[in-house]
Structure 1
Amino acid sequence: MKPRMKPRETALLSVSGLRVAFPGRRRGSPPVLAVDGVDLDIGAGEIVALVGESGCGKTTLARSLLGLVQPTSGSVAYAGAPLAYKGAALKAYRRRVQLVLQDPSGSLNPRHTVYDAVAEGLRIHGYDGDERAAVASALARAGLRPPERFFLRHPHELSGGQRQRVVIAGALVLEPELLVADEPVASLDASVRGEILALLLRLRDELGLAALVVTHDLGLAWNIADRVAVMYLGRVVETGPVEEVLSSPRHPYTRALLSVLPESPGEPVLLTGEPPDPALVPPGCRFHPRCPVLASPRTAVPGLADACRTRDLPVLPGRGRGAACHWARREPGMTGETPP
């Protein structure tokens, strides 16, 4: 198991009450809340995994943190300064916070050599140093050695793992402090995934690089993250240190996600009801239509069903242990629950 980082007292990136709404699907219909009141902190040198099903809002949240989508309300602060969504300030911010996409084949221009792909960021930001040395250093840090051997190659000449390393090198060349990695190993063979995850951990240890890793895979979160935030229908429903959340999950949704991992004991938990639709957010706890706790007579608690169906839950804190669940509030030491 990887060594865990100690918690940072001051957040490098801090998100507070973030909401992102898109126009309704039909004229006159209410807006779609893709992200609905998220608090999230990432410390320097810390890896945070953002986990959830497809459509839960995690990619929209990540794009907001990169300045690609302007939030409807709430705030994003980097090193204590509010994020600007235009102009020179945004360009400077994007040099410090870099994106690593899921599909390296789609991220790389097939006509560009590896050298040009990695040097592109330097040219956009007007780098005035030794470009060749910077590109070589970034490729070497990404595990492509000797780097000069890859300069004139094109993406189709590389393996999937090598292409993803080129994408990572393109982010590293600007010497960022934070990576936002959206499903960074989803398109890779199982044999290569471990190598890329090990690379991200090495970069954290050697460079103090922080990362937000967006994934649907709690197993990946266990292998790489210091903290995990589980997202459902636009909100973070459970958060905390990865060992605590994944070894002792409090929210029924987290338990259901964990139950389908190959190494999980017992039978998988099958969620009832329809998959989440951000245009049709239910009243009360947004997970209650699919909640296995409510569906089972063995876990029936007097008054629980009424609370789940009618009482909304507050936003979880950006750091610390929390579960936005009426049922989980009975557990000691929990935060973010509605008072009895």
Structure 2
Amino acid sequence: MSTTAEPAADARRDAEAPALEVRDLEVTYPPRGGRGPAHAVDGADLRIGQGEIVALIGESGCGKSTLARALVGLVKPTGGEVRYRGDVLGHSNAALKEHRRHVQLVLQDPGGALNPRQTVYDAVAEGPRLHGMTGDLNARVHNALSQAGLRPPEDFIGRYPHEMSGGQQQRVVIAGALALGPSVVVADEPVASLDASVRGEILKLLLDLRDELGLSALVVSHDLGLAWNIADRVAVMYLGRIVEVGTVEEVLLHPQHPYTKALLSVLPDSGHDRSPTLLTGEPPDPTAIPDGCRFHPRCPLFAGLDEDARRTARCTTDDLPVLSADPSLGAQVACHLAGESRDEGAGATKAGDDRDKDSGAAR
């Protein structure tokens, strides 16, 4: 009786668990060149539901690519944990190999990701060969190429990377990921190196894969416009922390964090009449995280306070809690000036509670 019940319970747990998540993740690199340790990811919670596309947005140096690599086991966390369908990721060779069958990384530069001496067939077959999945290799490679939009696959299997366009090369990289039959794809700047005319095709491909295969995806980018075109939810990252998270409509139409607003203000189709918000100060430095809110040295809201208010503001002294990864909580923002929370641990607020209130304005 118990042997029958246990598989059913395991299946129910797998169906209910997020496809992939991190809990209080930390990745710290040791001191180097006279500089202190670099806190690339400094406490982050993020959840990717099954069949969901989440966009992780932020400037270069904010830690988003480090977080992506931790999700696929290429970077070992110094704290917290990565979970795939509820199971904590171990870092033995066997555990990592099994994990990467289910969670595949797609890199931004297909030219660098593909071996110029390998044909398309060998590039796509490399993953299955490493995992011993060779019984139906020809069918697996052809199917993966078809799923990635390279049809008919017979026209491509004998080509070398230099014989294809950048968009076709990126499709080969995606096909290499699909050949293992993953349930999650982590795409790090998947269209950054492509011409504008090709970007839409690759983004549509990711959407089609979600709809046809039930594939989940984390798409890492510096471009909030990309998030609008592809994502179900958006997480905005700054200096190792997620500072705002919610559905794409909540975050992009009703941004609460001043950093999100600044990123949106420079989009050509942002719809805002006001001038773009230019951030002052130095870009994020993971070796020198300031006290209090880590964004306050560059924050337009903080800079707009009068001198007495700046001196007494919590922005310079009180750290903000890590935002929960639970999507049922709705939009959340980590900002002292975006609306004081009435709960303990004030500072992390539900964005939706404050959209129509004046409490988000600097006094």
The normalised TM-score by structure 1 is 0.92
**How much has 1:305 moved relative to structure 2?**
5.3
Structure 1 residues 215, 125: CA separation in 2 closer, same or farther (over 3 Å shift)? same
Q: Deviations over 1:245-289 (max 9, x none)?
A: 000000000000000000122210011111111111100000000
Structure 2 Cα separation of the partners of residues 147 and 303 of structure 1: 62
Change (3 A) 1:43 1:336: farther
**C-alpha distance in 2, partners of 1:247/1:305?**
31
Match of 1:209? 215
Note the C-alpha offset of 1:11: 1.2
Q: Which residue of 2 aligns with 1:70?
A: 76
Counterpart position of 1:307: 314
SS of 2:225's equivalent in the other structure is helix
Percent of paired sites with the same residue: 65
Match of residue 281 from structure 1: 289
1:91 pairs with 2:107:
no
Whether the 8 Å CA contact 2:340–2:346 is kept in 1: the answer is no
- Residues 1:80 and 1:148: Cα distance change in structure 2 (over 3 Å): same
Distance 2:53 2:67 in 1: 16
Aligned partners of 1:204, 1:183: CA distance in 2, in Å?
A: 18
For residue 294 of structure 1, report the CA deviation from its aligned partner.
Answer: 1.3
Cα offset, 1:26, TM superposition: 3.9
Please report how far the alpha carbon of residue 328 of structure 1 lies from its aligned counterpart in structure 2 after TM superposition: 1.2
The answer as to whether partners of 2:302 and 2:310 remain within 8 angstroms in 1 is no
CA distance in 2, matches of 1:9, 1:261: 37
RMSD of equivalent CA atoms: 2.1
Contact 1:104 1:164 in 2 (8 A): yes
Q: Which residue of 2 aligns with 1:268?
A: 276
Comparing 103-112 with 258-267, greater Cα deviation is found at 258-267
Structure 2 spans left out of the alignment, 5+ residues? 1-14, 350-363
Q: Match for residue 301 of structure 2?
A: 293
Equivalent residue in structure 1 for 2:137, among 102, 109, 131:
131
Q: Give me the whole-angstrom Cα distance separating, in 2, the residues matched to 1:336 and 1:100.
A: 38
SS in 1 for 2:133: coil
Q: When the two structures are aligned, how many residues end up with a matched partner? A: 330
Aligned partner of 2:25 among 18, 23, 39? 18
Tell me if 1:326 matches 2:336.
yes
User: In structure 2, how many angstroms separate the alpha carbons of the residues matched to 1:305 and 1:187?
Assistant: 45
Summarize deviations over 1:108-155 as a string: whole Å, max 9, x none.
Answer: 000000000000011000014211111011001100010011111000
Does residue 1:317 correspond to 2:324, yes or no? yes
Structure 1 CA distance, aligned partners of 2:312 and 2:285?
21
Q: Which residue of 1 aligns with 2:106?
A: 100
Q: Which amino acid aligns with 1:279?
A: T
Report the secondary structure of 1:169's partner residue. helix
Q: Assess, with a 3 A threshold, how the Cα gap between structure 1 residues 143 and 292 changes in structure 2: closer, same or farther.
A: same
- Once the two structures are TM-superposed, the CA of residue 202 in structure 1 deviates from its matched residue by 0.2
Residues 1:152 and 1:260: Cα distance change in structure 2 (over 3 Å):
same
Displacement of 1:88: 1.3
Q: Which amino acid aligns with 1:87?
A: N
The Cα of 1:319 is off from its aligned counterpart by: 2.7
Residue 149 of structure 2 is aligned to residue 143 of structure 1: yes
Which residue, 144, 153, 169 being the options, matches 2:159?
Answer: 153
Tell me the residue number matched to 2:168. 162
Displacement of 1:337? 2.1
For residue 360 of structure 2, what is the aligned residue in structure 1? none
Query: Structure 1 pair 51/304, CA: closer, same or farther in 2 (3 Å)?
Result: farther
User: Normalization by structure 2: what TM-score?
Assistant: 0.87
Measure, in 1, the Cα distance between the counterparts of 2:312 and 2:151.
59
Could you tell me which residue of structure 2 aligns to residue 5 of structure 1?
Answer: none
Give, in whole Å, the separation in 1 of the partners of 2:88 and 2:29.
22
The secondary structure found in structure 1 opposite 2:44 is strand
